[in-house]
Amino acid sequence: MSPLRQAMRSTVGKKVLMAITGLALTLFVIVHLAGNLQLFLKDGSKFNAYAHSLESLGGLLYVAEAGLLFFILAHAVNGILIKGSHWAARGDVRYSRYQTKGAPSRQNLSTQSMIVSGLTILGFLVVHISHFKFGPGVAEGYVTQIQGAEVRDLHRLVVETFRQPGWALGYMGVMVLLGLHLRHGFWSAFQSLGAMSPRLSPVISVIGVVLAVLLALGFLGIPAWILVDPMGVYR
């Protein structure tokens, strides 16, 4: 077996892979939110121009998307394997699961819901990508003009989706889980990479909480804003 395969089979190797893919996905989520914040603007052409500019990256976009898919799958499969080996090692002694050997417990809602929040986000991504990325486009009438060219009216699709309470509330619920997942995941990644000292740990923990709250609120705010439409611009 090659040294790389051997490393990937070890617990430490799995944790390092989890940390690297998790941090890379966090970076994607930050960039994705930054682009999506344009949905708060009254003028939908800004968001459509932004989405169109990504498409015009051509081959580069396909490479980035393939990389993103690899990171999502590696993170999810590895997470399920780690959780599976924890369950197997624990056997029937479920009652002892939160013993901390005398140290203060780090267990909280975020740490205990990692597998549930992770699997929900994975399910969300399947629905999300098939609806927005591969959903109705120019052929189905979702078309607009950007500098004289006919492009997909993605802004209209997002607005029509979040004007429906079921979609908007469903998204908002998943974004709360995303926040919980990031809150522990961010701290845990630094721990797994061995980049943590007793002094650094609380700092990383606070950064993780702030990042998780900002990202969850930012994403959650989009469907909420469109659904409530306080300025009356999406009707």
Residue (of 227, 229, 233) closest to 42 by Cα position? 233
**Shortest separation between residue 104's beta carbon and ligand HEM, angstroms:** 31
Give the binding range for ligand HEM (CB under 6 A) out of 16-24, 183-191, 199-207, 219-227: 219-227
Residue 213 is encoded by which pair of tokens?
A: 């709250």
Region 116-155 residues binding ligand HEM, contact defined as CB under 6 A: 121, 125, 128-129, 132-133, 154
- Please report whether residue 224 would count as binding ligand HEM according to CB under 6 A: no
**Shortest separation between residue 227's beta carbon and ligand HEM, angstroms:** 11
CB 151 within 8 A of CB 138: yes
Residue (of 31, 25, 39) closest to 168 by Cα position? 39
Residue (of 41, 49, 46, 54) closest to 222 by Cα position? 41
**Shortest separation between residue 145's beta carbon and ligand HEM, angstroms:** 17
Q: Tell how many helices (H) and how many strands (E) occur in the chain.
A: 9, 2
CB 135 within 8 A of CB 156: no
Exactly one of 24, 159, 177, 178 binds ligand HEM (CB under 6 A); that residue is 178
**CA 51, CA 142: separation in Å to the nearest integer?**
14
Give the binding range for ligand HEM (CB under 6 A) out of 12-20, 29-37, 106-114, 139-147: 29-37
**Shortest separation between residue 133's beta carbon and ligand HEM, angstroms:** 4
- Please report whether residue 225 would count as binding ligand HEM according to CB under 6 A: no
Contacts of 164 (CB under 8 A, 6+ apart): none
Half-sphere exposure in the Cβ direction for 162 (13 Å, CA): 23
The residue count for binding ligand HEM (CB under 6 A) is 21
Exactly one of 17, 204, 211, 222 binds ligand HEM (CB under 6 A); that residue is 222
Exactly one of 43, 65, 140, 150 binds ligand HEM (CB under 6 A); that residue is 65
**CA 145, CA 44: separation in Å to the nearest integer?**
11
- Please report whether residue 158 would count as binding ligand HEM according to CB under 6 A: yes
- Residues of this chain that interact with ligand HEM (CB under 6 A) are 29, 32, 36, 39, 51, 54, 65, 68, 121, 125, 128-129, 132-133, 154, 158, 171, 178, 219, 222-223
